[in-house]
Structure 1
Amino acid sequence: MDEAGEKITLRQMQIFLAAVESRSFNRAAEKLSLSPPAVSMQMSRLAEALGATLFVKDGRSVQPTQTATALVPYAERLAETLREAVHVVEQMQGRLDNQVRVAMVSTARNFGPQLVQQFLRQRPAAQVEISIANRDGVIAQLQEDRADLALMGRPPRRIEVTAHQFAKHPYVLISNPEHPLTRFRRIRRADLVMHRFLVRESGSGTRMVHEHFFREAGLPLPPAQEMDSNANIKQAVMANMGLAFLSAHTIALERQAGKLSVLSVDGMPQLRDWFVVYPRRKTLGPAAREFRDFVTTDGPAFMRQFFGEDYGAE
């Protein structure tokens, strides 16, 4: 290694990658729990060691130079090698044997924690970390190795995964119990176009069910207001602000309390599937493998018992 290479540290490369990503020394410092002067000093030392300018100021931001852009893949390779080395050491020491990180989409919060607890009764030594996020957030956790497995509906396409189906996932159309449509024994799809709906963000499972329901019949999409969570949608429907397609697994308590009604509509309920998903190239640790096997073997019976034999369908 030449003299310049001996002066460069892995920490400098980590700071460099954070600065390139955020285009700001201040934001890079915040991300790495450093002070902005410390980031600036380390980037100056790195530039000096390389004998090249890495960043140019652009107002309050910094822009990577052509040299910096060329350096990025090598810095990423170094950072990934370090992560892999640490991972191997931790595995050799047995620290990861009992750890499993489970991400779940927001709809799965209605049964996911209970499913995890059932697993822990069988494997009390396991250390399970759970996180709940929207679909994009869960996919990002899998992609960035911040989760070992995920409980979700339709498996992602932008990363290669192995997916095991373990339960049916019914979607239903809900309304306030006082809504005029509750008086009808069967409702045609065309009768719904004039009514106001509440929907999740584009790309979510419930949004896809909503759009497919009307487009499959060649009908225009009805007027709709977008909301950022199923909980907010439920509250709005209970306030009689509109109709909504939601997972039957998210409304069991509200139905029992008489706060929500499931409408009898042609083409509903629509059955999807629940999957336990993990990156195809990922080597699961012992606890993660046991959790995967538990979900695929015991998950179907758990879901039937938890939600009832009809899975919430009318």
Structure 2
Amino acid sequence: MHVTWRQLRLFRALAHTGSVTGAAEAEHVTQPTVSMQLRQLSEAAGVPLYEALPRGVRLTDAGQRLAHACEDILHRWATFEMEMADLQGLKRGRLDVAVVSTAKSFIPRLLGPFSQRYPDIDVHLEVANRDSIVRRLEQSLDDLVIMTTPPEHVALEAEPLLDNPLVLLAAAQHPLVGRKRLALKAVAGERFILREPGSGTRISCERQFQQWGFSPRVQMSLGSNEAIKQAVAGGYGLAVLSRHALDRDPAHEGLAVLDVKGFPIASRWYLVRRRERQPTPVAAAFLDFLRESLAGQNARPRAQLKPAPR
């Protein structure tokens, strides 16, 4: 079976984007070029690799197998190139990082200094919800992932990175604002707005609520921290969000943090990678940079569920 590097890259792009158009845009070539190269690849394989749909394509079983092979081959070759650059005293190559949406409050600010230190490293940052991040982990698409609740069904290495306290928010004009050490029952009748089911924040909340025996009146689920903050500021209800998702002064956003026993809920971001995918020299450089930048903020033990507030 004779194939070229170009065909492997184009097929990987097809698998990632789900369309010939997307693959062409990702690899900066024309659609006819992609179609011709993929047709030659299918002929070399001897079996159909994908099926055309009204919108995009669907990989066949053979195509799925080839997509995994492409990831493995191209990752191994990229690692080799980085190792050669490392032996020459250089740091160059590509770094693929995926983060859950709550982590976008601090990770992009670290990428600037990292790129200044290593200007020849091409950094690709993917920001998505937890479900999308888990799928990326399953497909081993990224060098490193940052998330709060790593999945248990994938063999992973997870390193504590940074505390992510979850606070209880209300509109700045809410009657409970300013009151001290409120009991949990004080908010039992309030409407709650939470992140969508399956998100890291929602999972952390539900685990803690279950431990407390507390059943909030969840009236709305939203997939965006900004949308939740707008709903809370508008007086729709209370919400549990990462403290990092707020301005230094929440009042600037029309919000206030309630002082309720049991809050903030302990949570933490983790630096995650597939166990079988050893860090490339570029990924190792980024790991060292993160540890250096966040030194001293990661000394506490892994967050545990709190006892029920009294």
Q: TM-score range by the shorter chain?
A: 0.7 to 0.9
- Alpha-carbon separation, structure 2, partners of 1:116 and 1:58: 38
For 1:165-314, what aligned pairs fall within 5 Å after superposition?
165-255=160-250, 257=252, 259-301=254-296
Q: Deviations over 1:199-238 (max 9, x none)?
A: 1111112212332343222233313201120111011111
Moved more, 192-201 or 118-127: 118-127
Cα shift at 1:61: 11
Alignment partner of 2:173: what SS?
Answer: coil
Identity %: 27
1:161 corresponds to which letter in structure 2?
L
The structure having more radius of gyration, on CA atoms, is 1
Cα shift at 1:292: 0.8
1:263 corresponds to which letter in structure 2?
L
For 1:124-163, what aligned pairs fall within 5 Å after superposition?
124-163=119-158
Counterpart for residue 74 of structure 2: 83
1:232 corresponds to which letter in structure 2?
A
TM-score under structure 2 normalisation? 0.73
Q: Deviations over 1:257-313 (max 9, x none)?
A: 262111011111112122222222112222211211222233144799xxxxxxxxx
Contact 2:50-2:63 within 8 A present in 1 as well? no
The 3 A distance-change label for structure 1 pair 62 and 212 is closer
Alignment partner of 2:294: what SS?
Answer: helix
- Alpha-carbon separation, structure 2, partners of 1:227 and 1:187: 26
Give the gaps of 5 or more residues in structure 1.
Answer: 305-314
2:197 corresponds to which letter in structure 1?
S
Contact 1:90-1:96 within 8 A present in 2 as well? no
- The match for 1:114 among 84, 106, 109 is 109
Root mean square deviation, CA, Å: 4.3
For 1:28-43, what aligned pairs fall within 5 Å after superposition?
28-33=19-24, 34=31, 42=39
Cα shift at 1:74: 5.9
2:276 corresponds to which letter in structure 1?
R
Q: Which structure's residues are more often helix, by fraction?
A: 1
Aligned residues, how many?
289
Contact 2:97-2:142 within 8 A present in 1 as well? yes
- Alpha-carbon separation, structure 2, partners of 1:293 and 1:86: 23
TM-score under structure 1 normalisation? 0.72
Cα shift at 1:76: 5.1
Cα shift at 1:6: 7.7
- Alpha-carbon separation, structure 2, partners of 1:113 and 1:74: 34
